[in-house]
Amino acid sequence: MLTSSCLFSNSQNPNPEREKVHPNTIMATIQGDNVVVPQMKLERLFCMKGGKGETSYANNSQAQARHARSMLHLLEGVLDNITLPSPDELFTVSDLGCSSGENTLFIVDVIIKHFAKRYEAIGCGPPEFQAFFSDLPSNDFNTLFQLLPPLAIKISLEECLAAEGRRSYYAGGVPGSFYRRLFPAKSINVFHSAFSLHWLSQVPESVTDSKSSAYNKGRVFIHGASECTANAYKQQFQMDLAAFLRSRSIELKAGGSMFLVFLGRTSVDPTDQGGPGLLFGTHFQEAWNDLVQKGLVDGEKRDSFNIPVYAASLQDFKEVVEADGSFTINKLEMFRGGSPLIVSRPDDAKEVGRALANSCRTVSGVLVDAQIGEELSNELFALLERRATSHAAELLEQLQFYHIVASLSLT
């Protein structure tokens, strides 16, 4: 909760939908004076780096793939407890925050084949499956759809289970923010979302307001910031998660389930963001400071930029879910995902430095480009690469991500 010493600037909420707060949500206990920048601005801009280049998400998401595979047993345990609808009904899966690489295709394939096996176990043929890949409109859906294997129509159960290089489901893209409605009521059997819910819908306005006590002066991330700044980030997370839950509670079919994976922290202190803090709040922050010291960017320009990420604690997540009341938590744990850096030669400091800079640019490059332009963005990430190269051994040892893993079903 916000402390009395944390005062935030007031302005009219640009999105009236966000004022419609469920009376049982945790936001009912929060004073509504922490106003955020227009949500649509970030929605129309933000995405993982598209295409297939060196800094694209498609070529820099191996760590996410490794982490997802290490959690497959948790996902499959959740899928085992989902009620099987009649095989005559269409079975629908949605991946929220799909981005543009192969990871989302792999997970959807795992989910659909798992259910095909469950139908086989009870002596039924599989239903028709469909999968919706959803992300913000700025996402590179073209690259994603180019990776889709061809559709195999009217294949048998055995072919469905053994389908290599073919797709046993109908596919569609759904552009839009998952902090609002995306699908018709009671239309989705399984929601899956990995490595996405830590991205806030927007940076709290007070964080970049020089007149606010939450002003994050000299920083571009919550890590190491003041208590007031941390509370502004936390409140934004609470509002966003509650909006996410309200939308999914309408769209999920009875007997369905959600499986969520997103960045978490083990520290009680929200200003200690762990792995994300080391990624965005240390060397990345220092690279921004280098730009300022070189006179390439002024301090105000830096201070008006913040990374809209919040690594929540288990308690942060639990409080919002319980206050909303729409879902029952079936599983909630902190999972050690490991390092986001995948390198072939750990003793090669330059490779480590380049891997960190590419990883950071993959997820934040679009925002940086919009803030300072591509030329200065190139300089920023070059500075980051040099700094990371000089701290390669430390990064390999200390840069570890933890993920909140949650399974939810309708109450």
Query: Would you say 169 and 131 are in contact if contact means Cβ atoms under 8 Å apart?
Result: yes
Task: Give mean pLDDT, residues 332-338.
Answer: 90
Q: How far is CA 85 from CA 51, 80, 101, 235, 304, in A?
A: 38, 13, 30, 38, 50
Residues 281, 222 contacting (CB under 8 angstroms)? yes
Q: Write the pLDDT tens digit of every residue in 45-74.
A: 666 555 666 655 555 556 666 777 878 999
Question: Cα–Cα distance between 56 and 10 in angstroms, integer?
Answer: 38
Nearest to 68 by CA among 261, 258, 263: 261
Q: Average pLDDT of 316-321?
A: 98
pLDDT tens digits, 217-236: 999 999 999 999 999 999 99
**Chain centroid to CA 273:** 15
Write the Ramachandran bin of 66: left for phi over 0, alpha for psi from -120 to 50, otherwise beta: alpha
Residue 36 forms beta bridges with which residues? 204
Name the amino acid, one letter, at 98: C
- For 122-160, b where at least 16 C-beta lie within 10 A, e where not — what string? eeeebbebbbbbbbbebbbbebbeeeeeeeeeebeeeeb
- What pLDDT was estimated at residue 59? 59
Percentage of the chain beyond pLDDT 70 is: 81
pTM of the model: 0.85
Q: For residue 7, is pLDDT > 70?
A: no
408 alpha-carbon distance from chain centroid: 17
Query: Which residue, among 343, 368, 357, has the nearest Cα to 390 in the 3D structure?
Result: 357
Report how far residue 144's alpha carbon sits from residue 136's, in angstroms, rounded to the nearest whole number: 13
Q: Yes or no: say if 136 and 105 are a contact pair by the CB < 8 Å rule.
A: no
Res. 42: pLDDT tops 80: no
Tell me, what's the pLDDT at 366? 87
Q: What is the pLDDT of residues 155-184, one digit of tens each?
A: 555 655 555 677 889 999 999 999 999 999
Residue 286 CA to residue 100 CA, distance in Å, equals: 30
| Average pLDDT value for residue range 315-334 | 97
Per-residue confidence band for 38, with pLDDT thresholds at 50, 70 and 90: very low
Position 4 scores a pLDDT of: 34
What number is the average pLDDT over the span 280-302?
A: 93
When pLDDT is averaged across residues 74-79 and rounded to a whole number, the result is: 94
Q: Concatenate the DSSP letters of all residues of 93-144 into one string.
A: EEEET--SSSHHHHHHHHHHHHHHHHHHHTT-----EEEEEEE-TTS-HHHH
The correct answer on CATH 3.40.50.150 for the domain covering 16-45+55-268+306-339+401-410 is: yes
Provide the pairing of β-strand 252-264 with 91-96: unpaired
d(CA 363, CA 140): 13
Question: At 99, is the pLDDT very low, low, confident or very high (cuts 50, 70, 90)?
Answer: confident
Residues in the chain: 411
Asked if 229 and 216 count as a contact pair (C-beta separation under 8 A), the reply is: yes
- Kindly list the strands in the beta sheet with 252-264, ordered across the sheet, starting from the edge strand earlier in the chain: 170-175, 129-135, 91-96, 188-194, 252-264, 401-410, 327-338
Residues near 220 by beta carbon (within 8 Å), at least 6 away in sequence = 280, 281, 284, 285, 288, 302, 305, 306, 307
Eight-state DSSP code of residue 172: E
228-275: pLDDT as tens digits: 999 999 999 999 999 999 999 999 999 999 999 999 999 999 999 988
Q: Locate 394 and state its tokens.
A: 């430390």
What pLDDT score was predicted for residue 348? 94
* b/e code 12-23 from CB counts within 10 Å (16+ = b): eeeeeebeebbe
